[in-house]
Chain A
């Protein structure tokens, strides 16, 4: 069994962090036990479960699967598992309790077929009912509707299931260097053959409506683009054609802001990518907080309040 022990570097940094903590809070000995216990438990848990493999009770593995997919940020669990390849590869759509099969809309099916044919090599997918020639495979236009898909521990949902988790930045398969904002319309589980005579393969696809980018004449009016980390404006309407992507094409969620006062005549939305995880460097957060202790009207005790956050605030 292979326990993951803390490395020398991790130990050194733990000591340094604790020194900084003591320097700031003037409290000795309270944090060490919790910190080290948490670090060791989390570091060992995944290794233990991996080593035992099938020997672990299925109920425990099932519970752990839900647990590691918990998408709360700023936790040791999330940090420990989110960069592991096994987690990153996960991306199967979840149909929920009722398995509802639907017929894919013509526009989505056209985009779906186009996407598959672009990557299929010699094989060409054609509608299932169409007469097939050599190297042509029938593509069914029926799929199972899903309510969510987990990608790298983050939950993405279609608009019909959640208006908050449907805004995504995704990589366009036609140009993978380009990342675009869109809204998830549907998450579909679809079965098809990869080649003639092969068994059916089930795969998850996501139907996305893409927000229209600004025209060249409006781009100079977008002040957000000048700051790099402040996002950008897009027109508030969608492009005509939907796009079909795979879960691994999703980059992140974005914060969508609809304001009437942007300096562009057409209605716009502000797109702020959230492709970071919510880890917090306490020293930086404290700087953030003290920067805004300057907020007008805040009482003197505000700073003490901020400093007490170093002691007992969390989440």
Chain B
């Protein structure tokens, strides 16, 4: 079982601790590149280890692409889109709510981080539905905007990507054109996957 980490100093930026989940970084004028990188981290090895342990107890139907064991480590390699979705909408909510959802033990910041992440999960779930109504689109807009505002407040050092902006417009797309399955490019992505799995000699023209 995981031991809860001591609550961080909320006045300091949160950084990853290789031994634990989060900690407050010590102020230093000569912050190294490693420290800058660490300042961006949200989950530590302890949390990832807990997620890996929880994974052993999750039974998924055969159509769900389960995350590979040891996901999140550099040696495991990159995940497919389906695996990312499984990790973020199944594995991490189960583990994070178990560790951070209990009102009595986690720090206020951990609770805020969890709420922020669950806004994203909620938005993804709505954005992925095959049938949506106006109320669900509004809920999507509310959640994704709250998530984006939360990101700016919780992780001031984090640089937002263009996709964060694009995600805020998916509600407009759903209002105009309906659920995303009629215009998403996942079919093409599947073909890319099929093509990638074809053995080739990698020698052109022979």
Contact = CB atoms under 8 A, between A and B. Distances in A.
Main secondary structure of the interface of B (DSSP, over half): helix
Contacts of B72: 292, 295, 298
A308 to B, nearest CB: 8
Given A288-B84, A315-B190, A226 B101 contact: yes
Contact of A31 (B98, B162, B177, B188): B188
A255 B84 contact: no
B128 interface: yes
B43 A285 contact: no
A167 B167 CA distance: 33
A297 B18 contact: yes
Nearest to B163: A286
A230 interface: yes
A278 B85 contact: yes
B81 A38 contact: no
A284 B141 CA distance: 12
A280 interface: yes
B129 interface: yes
Interface residues of B, number: 86
B97 A227 contact: yes
Nearest to A300: B37
B61 A229 contact: no
Q: What band does the interface of chain A fall in when counting residues whose beta carbon is under 8 Å from B?
A: 35 or more
Contact of A292 (B43, B103, B177, B188): B43
A21 to B, nearest CB: 7
A255 B57 CA distance: 10
B135 interface: no
B137 interface: no
A64 B81 CA distance: 27
B112 interface: no
A238 to B, nearest CB: 16
Given A257-B58, A305-B78, A17 B185 contact: yes
B90 to A, nearest CB: 5
A291 B97 contact: no
B24 interface: no
Contacts of A261: 1, 98
A278 B63 contact: yes
B187 A292 contact: no
B170 interface: yes
B130 A10 contact: no
B196 interface: yes
B59 A276 contact: no
Given A9-B176, A314-B80, A280 B85 contact: yes
11 contacts: A224-B101, A227-B97, A227-B122, A230-B93, A230-B94, A262-B98, A284-B120, A284-B128, A287-B167, A296-B42, A314-B196
